[in-house]
Structure 1
Amino acid sequence: MTSLIPEVGLLTGLDSSQMREIDHCHLLHQQVLPAFRQLARAMATEGIELRVVSAWRGFERQAKIWRAKCEGLRPVYDSTQQIVDISTLQGLAKLEAIMLYSALPGASRHHWGTELDIYDAAAVPADYEIQLQPAEYAADGPFHKLTLWLDKHAADYGFFLPYKVYQGGVAAEPWHISYQPLASQYQTAFSLSALQYTLQHHAIAEQQSVLQHLPTLFQRYITNICEA
């Protein structure tokens, strides 16, 4: 197992050595930068101003988000965008409620530097507070033009939507794009044993429950994506 540690670190958000700045707030894997820049330029020709809400996210950052959700300090939403009273849930039900929209630390695709949560800044006022909710990207939402553009052109630049539709795991996320050439390699390399090893050596909220249910969670929420 020791020989796997460098690879595991990259896959689970513990190693940021391959990440580079795309602006003052966000990082991406260095192999993704050229495609990201091409994507932004192409969108600009159609009047879309690509802005990033989230890109690379390390293990510790994801662990803080996870803990806040587990402890009811950040809202947990159901599929109808209603807030869930997380204090009424325990065990697998609690974990599944959180993982509908929030990834398990060590298992977020954002750890890879291949993922971006995006919106169109040209479609909203400068003081608009992005919510990252499906309605914003639907037919009556401000980012519907972006949704249509991605449907038609994302693949031309190597990107796809891993959560384009709900498949019984992670909710649909029309704002989440992934750089397929690299993400598919990481998806193949990522394994249940690698994640288990990481979570056994790095404390997170609900750790014992997570480890107990990890095979189920791995199949339902981590490998269950919409293929490019």
Structure 2
Amino acid sequence: MITPHQAMGLSSAHLVEVTDGHFLQGTVKSAFEQMQKAALRQKIDVQICSSFRSFERQLSIWNRKWKGELPLYRLNGEKLNANTLSDEEKIHAIMLWSALPGASRHHWGTDFDVYDKANVEALQHDFQLIPQEYEGSGPCAKLSSWLTTYAKDFGFSFPYAEYVGGVAKEPWHLSHTESASAIETQFSTERLANTLSESTICGKDTILENLDNLVYRYTFNEGKKS
């Protein structure tokens, strides 16, 4: 079991390198490599495009989106103007696509994003990590279909398989179910609140006022509380 400090992305001591600067927990790495080998036998090149992200990196993304330095989007892809949103609206707009620092599953070393690297490169596709690339004739459609059938055989699941009122659909996001579930069970919003209180995160007061619901709705993807 990882420490609360590690669960919030404040340390990477629980991780080992997989490849190309990507890091996961050791048991997760082993499961991923087994899945990767199985997929390759079907000519599917499963590669990681995002794994561990630290608290500071997630904080930078958050603050840049808050200030309008990075774009915000609606669920349908329509661009939003950050300057026209209330603090609460801005929080939800950011969390539709990007996690709250300290509450990102990418801190845990159990979750990562994948793509079919060989097919993307063969097609000379300008890869953007959007759902359409994993559907129909998209460069990662075969990968997505294979993972839907076989990922569970290697211990993986899709925490954001569908939009349920929290995070937008992410067919690329895999989670090592057993390892992640242990962290979810022990996750402390009180510790997270203390960490965020001491940070430079934009929108701090509104975040702290709504923290329990934000973690429930987005990190655990349980949708809106009734």
Q: Give the TM bin, normalised by the shorter chain.
A: over 0.9
Structure 2's unaligned 5+ residue stretches are: none
Query: Does 2:171 correspond to 1:174?
Result: yes
What is the one-letter code of the residue matched to 2:108?
A: W
Q: CA deviation at 1:217?
A: 1.2
Counterpart mapping for 1:30-49 below 5 A: 30-49=26-45
Q: 2:133 aligns with which of 133, 136, 143?
A: 136
Q: Which residue of 2 aligns with 1:3?
A: none
Q: CA deviation at 1:101?
A: 0.6
Contact 2:216 2:222 in 1 (8 A): no
Quick one: distance in 1 between partners of 2:25 and 2:142? 27
Quick one: distance in 1 between partners of 2:13 and 2:82? 36
Q: CA deviation at 1:181?
A: 1.3
- Number of residues of Structure 1 aligned to a counterpart in Structure 2: 221
Tell which deviates more after alignment, 97-106 or 7-16. Answer: 7-16
Query: Does 2:156 correspond to 1:159?
Result: yes
Quick one: distance in 1 between partners of 2:46 and 2:220? 28
Q: CA deviation at 1:29?
A: 1.4
Paired residue secondary structure (2:77): coil
Q: CA deviation at 1:24?
A: 2.7
Counterpart mapping for 1:197-216 below 5 A: 197-216=194-213
Tell which deviates more after alignment, 149-158 or 77-86. Answer: 77-86
Contact 1:8 1:198 in 2 (8 A): no
Deviation by residue 1:161-183 (Cα, 9 ceiling, x = unmatched): 00000111111100100111101
What is the one-letter code of the residue matched to 1:82?
A: E
Counterpart mapping for 1:78-117 below 5 A: 78-117=74-113
Q: 1:8 aligns with which of 4, 28, 33?
A: 4
Overall identity of the aligned pairs, in %: 42
Q: CA deviation at 1:213?
A: 1.9
**CA RMSD, aligned part only?**
1.6
Q: Normalising by the residue count of structure 1, what TM-score does the alignment of the two structures yield?
A: 0.92
Q: CA deviation at 1:128?
A: 3.4
Structure 1's unaligned 5+ residue stretches are: 1-5
Counterpart mapping for 1:212-223 below 5 A: 212-223=209-220
Q: Normalising by the residue count of structure 2, what TM-score does the alignment of the two structures yield?
A: 0.93
What is the one-letter code of the residue matched to 1:136?
A: E
Q: CA deviation at 1:33?
A: 1.3
